[in-house]
Amino acid sequence: MPSPVAHTLAGACVAALAARRLPAARALPVAAALILAAHLPDLDYLALVRGREAMERFHQGVFHSIGFVAATALPLAWLLRRRLGFPQAWLLLAAAGLTHLLLDLVVVDHKPPIGFPFFWPLSAERFHATIALFPGIDRKHILGTRNLLELLVELAWFLPSWPLLRRWLPLRTPGGAAP
């Protein structure tokens, strides 16, 4: 799986696209919620309280599915309904959560079962892409060279997007107008 850095950057990209129509005062809470939504599938790490074995068994289960992403976007959308309107908030939050699933699809996965139930609850079949864009992290050696390589690959994929986003998205003033 990619690191939290990649999931944060993916959520930030969705936030940057959403912020283009919002005044600056409204954009920050929306951006924070979208970045949070990009991390929600990793709530399965809560299984760590039962030990590493439980987490390894539980990780990339139903929390890594469009059903879970759609369901967890609902309460966050309710919180953002006054800033964006409920339908738009839900769509943006679901898109941010979907970035997590898409990134996890294209990472090297060596641990059985391979993949995750992308279409749960419609199907329990596990999916994984045939191409790998990310080498994946080593959860046992957090400061190891494999994780450094993962971080460098993530930055190589995401950093080029920021100048493009800045070019497409004008800066906002507190009143919402472009300078």
Round to whole Å and give the CA distance between 115 and 124: 11
The angle subtended at Cα 77 by Cα 12 and Cα 104, nearest 5°, is 45
Round to whole Å and give the CA distance between 53 and 139: 12
pLDDT at 135 over 60: yes
Please, what's the b/e burial string for 5-27 (b: 16 or more CB within 10 A of its CB; e: otherwise)? ebbbbbbbbbbbebbeebeeebb
pLDDT tens-digit profile of 75-91? 999 999 998 899 999 99
pTM: predicted TM-score of the whole model, two decimal places: 0.84
More confident residue, 37 or 179: 37
Domain layout of the chain by residue ranges:
4-168
pLDDT tens-digit profile of 31-59? 999 999 999 999 988 888 888 788 777 88
Of 6-15, 50-59, 91-100, 105-114, the poorest mean pLDDT is in: 50-59
Please give the distance of CA 166 from its chain centroid, rounded to a whole number. Answer: 20
Q: What is the mean pLDDT of residues 160-164?
A: 76
Give me the pLDDT at residue 111, please: 79
Give me the pLDDT at residue 166, please: 63
